[in-house]
Amino acid sequence: MSFLYQVLGRGTAALATLGRGDQVEALVPLGNIWPVEDLAAASGQRRAIVVAGGIGSASVLMLCDELARRGIDTHVIVGAASLTVALGCGLEDFRALSLPLTVTTDDGSLGQRGFVTAPLEAHLVSSGGAGSRIYTCGPWAMMRRVAEIASRLEVECYASLEAPMGCGFGVCVGCVVAVKTEGPAGYGSYKRVCVDGSIFPAETVRWEVAAMTH
């Protein structure tokens, strides 16, 4: 088992001091998984488009491996701030899968200059979105934009969300995100990322509300 993390606070700083042989306690697994079975079993040609940004790349690497193993037509789009960040987020592991890969960097030091959403939109427009499914994980603003593109072009989309978690198993309700409901706002208007997610259909997330806490 291996972990990819970015040092941002006291917790990840403490993890960075650990070496081989040191011990940590972990509560795994939690939540749901990427929906792949139905895509593989669907009649007709189905395509997968994986869109990842920064450290969010870590959560989709095994997804890409599974899609490749099942022989699903898959295009991967990975974005990072720079060449250094891209390499640190496992770019070589994605290249080893031999899937069609597009890389973007904010500073243009690798691949296309700009955000991942630009090649995503161009790919969908040029190839047509019919039969495609988008899987995305990354910064909140990036996923919100991916969800907007998917909605406009009528493409199915799933997003793996991130939120501060106090307990990790649904008791503290500290990781809730706002979701769309048919009735008036109430308890069902929020879902816990740790146990109800972390993967949600993108069209069910109230991105404009949830973004206030991210």
Q: Where are the domains of the chain?
A: 35-158
Instruction: Indicate the pTM of the whole model.
Output: 0.90
Taking the CA of residue 212 as centre, how many other CA atoms within 13 Å lie in the half-sphere pointing to its CB?
7
CB neighbour burial string for 131-141, b if at least 16 within 10 angstroms, e if fewer? ebbbbbbbbbe
Task: Report the CATH number of the 35-158 domain.
Answer: 3.40.50.80
Q: Residue 7 has what pLDDT?
A: 87
Closest CA to 105 of 125, 88, 128: 88
Closest CA to 23 of 14, 36, 35, 31: 14
* Average pLDDT score over residue span 58-80: 94
Cα gap 78→61, rounded to integer Å = 11
Higher-scoring residue by pLDDT: 157, 169: 157
Average pLDDT, the chain: 90
